[in-house]
């Protein structure tokens, strides 16, 4: 019998323990609902960590994957393929960028961005300034770029050329610019450290600093890109255009795919042999990506994300008002919303997540700061209402 218990026991025995997981095995998914091995259903406000933007097993994505898997799965980047070409062209047509490089993950997309920034900059310029609280991935360079020391511990010495500016302090960042600086790397909204948006004025200031000092502005939109914030890319809402942007997570609704986008002038610094990936731009992943992007570009899709995001934010604000001892405020953009806990509420974050889980609702506690709600972008107001009712009970259960 394959039950949660048997699968979890086998999994714990066989896997290196890098993950602390909920004690269930997920078997199937449909829309915003997941089903575990014991047949229990969950309302998913995590989307596989902002990956399944179109929900689980979206018919257009499933069809694209099945058709492409029956036609061609892999040929390497020694050849052109149709899905990769079409996806790159559609990303370019709908962004600031002229050119795309495909990788397999967010960390790999950021590695490509860092390598491009270095090779495209004058000799002697290699240093990247990123922000404290940021998250950019788990490879050594992206760990070094990540502005949270808990991800560094045990892995020193880290690759050189990365420094971290205090969050939101433009003057402090300006003081860190030196002759070795080549780029500023940031998330328009920090996801992992607790749904922390950067102020529009701050981001405009970053753009200005980059222009004054001839630095490259890199936006890591791995978590917030692909419709999550209610526009296809978060930079559109900030009125600030980066020089390089990275995408991954939701780009192929769960198939491994990352992308690094930039303008022609910079793209020219990458020539045959300077950078590559065996799997990057895999035809099946790109066919899924194409189905995702076409679905998101339908005229009603993004306006609905904005509308649902406003609804979710308003309902979370009600929770904050009903439980003032636990919750301080709600913040976010579109359908990435965080309920920020009070000093007194912080120790209860994990218990609230567990109570939600016991009620069949999936969410998480990001950065030990905010409960993070990142449902599939197709979430309905009824599903939001169900989550809110469970959250209300969870707050009551921990005594708030
Ligand atoms: C998840 C994430 C990454 C890393 O992506 P992986 O696919 O896990 O390598 C990088 N940056 C941000 C902002 C992320 O949220």
SS3 for 241-274, per residue? CCCEEEECHHHHECECCEEEEECHHHHCCCCCCC
pLDDT digits (tens, 9 = 90+) for 292-313: 999 999 999 999 999 999 999 9
* Ligand 1 centroid – CA 336 distance (Å): 15
The pLDDT-based confidence of 386 (bands split at 50, 70, 90) is very high
Q: What percent of the chain has pLDDT over 70?
A: 100
Q: Give the residue ranges of DSSP H helices in the chain.
A: 4-14, 47-50, 59-71, 82-93, 106-120, 140-145, 170-176, 200-213, 235-238, 264-267, 283-296, 301-322, 349-358, 381-397
* Ligand 1 centroid – CA 133 distance (Å): 13
d(CA 172, CA 184): 13
Residue 400, pLDDT score: 78
The pLDDT-based confidence of 272 (bands split at 50, 70, 90) is very high
CA torsion 141-331-234-100 (nearest 10°) is: 30
CA distances from 119 to 112, 170, 268, 271, 279 (A): 10, 26, 10, 10, 23
* Ligand 1 centroid – CA 102 distance (Å): 15
Q: Which atom of ligand 1 is nearest to the CA of 249?
A: 7
What one-character-per-residue DSSP string does 287-324 give? HHHHHHHHHHTSTTHHHHHHHHHHHHHHHHHHHHHH-T
Residue 17, pLDDT score: 94
CA torsion 149-151-157-160 (nearest 10°) is: -80
Of all protein residues, whose CA lies closest to atom 11 belonging to ligand 1? 136
pLDDT at 399 over 90: no
Give the three-state DSSP class for 163: strand
Question: Which H or E element spans position 341?
Answer: strand 336-341
For a mutational test of ligand 1's pocket, the pick from 249, 253, 333, i.e. the residue with the most ligand atoms closer than 8 A to its C-beta, is 249
Q: Which atom of ligand 1 is nearest to the CA of 220?
A: 13
* Ligand 1 centroid – CA 6 distance (Å): 31
- Tell me what the mean pLDDT of segment 337-360 comes to: 98
Domains and CATH numbers, the chain: 4-57+300-397 (3.90.1150.10), 72-296 (3.40.640.10)
* Ligand 1 centroid – CA 3 distance (Å): 31
* Ligand 1 centroid – CA 322 distance (Å): 34
Cβ atoms of residues 339 and 331 within 8 Å: no
pLDDT digits (tens, 9 = 90+) for 247-258: 999 999 999 999
Of all protein residues, whose CA lies closest to atom 15 belonging to ligand 1? 223
pLDDT digits (tens, 9 = 90+) for 208-245: 999 999 999 999 999 999 999 999 999 999 999 999 99
Nearest to 386 by CA among 399, 373, 371: 373
pLDDT at 1 over 80: no
d(CA 108, CA 94): 22
d(CA 145, CA 123): 20
* Ligand 1 centroid – CA 47 distance (Å): 14
Phi (first) and psi of residue 338, to 5 degrees: -120, 135
Q: Residue 77's Cα: distance from chain center in Å? A: 26
Residue 237, pLDDT score: 96
d(CA 330, CA 328): 7
- Tell me what the mean pLDDT of segment 179-183 comes to: 98
For a mutational test of ligand 1's pocket, the pick from 136, 259, 333, 364, i.e. the residue with the most ligand atoms closer than 8 A to its C-beta, is 136
How many alpha carbons fall within 13 Å on the CB side of residue 119? 16
Q: Which atom of ligand 1 is nearest to the CA of 134?
A: 13
Q: Which residues line ligand 1 (CB under 6 A)?
A: 105-107, 110, 135-137, 187, 191-192, 220, 222-223, 248-249
Q: What does the DSSP 8-state code read for residue 150?
A: G
d(CA 54, CA 58): 6
Q: Which atom of ligand 1 is nearest to the CA of 139?
A: 9
Residues in the chain: 400
Residue 15, pLDDT score: 95
Of all protein residues, whose CA lies closest to atom 6 belonging to ligand 1? 106
* Ligand 1 centroid – CA 166 distance (Å): 20
Residue 194, pLDDT score: 96
* Cβ burial 60-71 (10 Å sphere, 16+ → b, else e): ebeebbeebeee
For a mutational test of ligand 1's pocket, the pick from 48, 108, 135, 189, i.e. the residue with the most ligand atoms closer than 8 A to its C-beta, is 135
Residue 138, pLDDT score: 98
Cβ atoms of residues 295 and 219 within 8 Å: no
* Ligand 1 centroid – CA 155 distance (Å): 18
Of all protein residues, whose CA lies closest to atom 5 belonging to ligand 1? 106
- Tell me what the mean pLDDT of segment 137-149 comes to: 98
Residue 298, pLDDT score: 98
* Ligand 1 centroid – CA 316 distance (Å): 26
What one-character-per-residue DSSP string does 367-390 give? TTTEEEE---TT--HHHHHHHHHH
pLDDT digits (tens, 9 = 90+) for 26-42: 999 999 999 999 999 99
d(CA 35, CA 251): 23
Cβ atoms of residues 81 and 283 within 8 Å: yes
| Average pLDDT score, the chain | 98
- Tell me what the mean pLDDT of segment 85-97 comes to: 98
* Ligand 1 centroid – CA 397 distance (Å): 33
């Amino acid at each position: 019998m394959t039950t949660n218990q048997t699968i979890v026991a086998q999994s714990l025995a066989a896997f290196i323990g890098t993950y602390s997981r909920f004690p269930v095995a997920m078997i199937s998914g449909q829309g915003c609902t997941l089903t575990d091995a014991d047949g229990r259903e969950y309302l998913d406000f995590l989307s596989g960590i902002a990956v399944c933007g179109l929900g689980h097993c979206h018919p257009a994505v499933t069809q694209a994957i099945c058709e492409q898997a029956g036609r061609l799965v892999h040929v390497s980047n020694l050849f052109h393929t149709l899905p990769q070409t079409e996806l790159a062209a559609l990303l370019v047509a709908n962004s600031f960028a002229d050119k795309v490089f495909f990788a397999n993950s967010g960390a790999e997309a950021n590695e490509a961005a860092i390598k491009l920034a270095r090779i495209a900059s004058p000799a002697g310029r290699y240093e990247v300034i990123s922000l404290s609280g940021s998250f950019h991935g788990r490879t050594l360079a992206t760990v070094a770029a990540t502005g949270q020391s808990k991800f560094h511990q045990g892995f020193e010495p880290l690759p050189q050329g990365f420094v971290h500016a205090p969050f939101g302090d433009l003057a402090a960042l300006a003081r860190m610019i030196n002759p070795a600086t080549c780029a500023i790397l940031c998330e328009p909204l920090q996801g992992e450290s607790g749904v922390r948006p950067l102020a529009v004025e701050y981001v405009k200031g970053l753009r200005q600093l980059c222009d004054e000092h001839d630095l490259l502005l890199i936006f890591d939109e791995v978590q917030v890109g692909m419709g999550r914030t209610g526009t296809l890319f978060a930079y559109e809402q900030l009125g600030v255009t980066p020089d390089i942007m990275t995408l991954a997570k939701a780009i192929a609704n769960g198939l491994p795919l990352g992308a690094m986008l930039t303008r022609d002038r910079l793209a020219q610094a990458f020539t045959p042999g300077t950078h590559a990936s065996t799997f990057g731009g895999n035809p099946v992943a790109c066919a899924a990506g194409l189905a995702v992007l076409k679905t998101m570009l339908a005229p009603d899709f993004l306006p609905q994300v904005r509308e649902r995001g406003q609804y979710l934010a308003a309902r979370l604000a009600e929770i904050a008002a009903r439980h003032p001892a636990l919750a301080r405020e709600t913040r976010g953009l579109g359908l990435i919303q965080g309920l920020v806990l009070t000093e007194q509420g912080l120790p209860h974050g994990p218990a609230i997540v567990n109570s939600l889980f016991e009620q069949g609702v999936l969410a998480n506690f990001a950065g030990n700061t905010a409960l993070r709600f990142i449902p599939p972008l197709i979430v309905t107001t009824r599903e939001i209402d169900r989550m809110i009712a469970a959250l209300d009970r969870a707050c009551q259960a921990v005594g708030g």
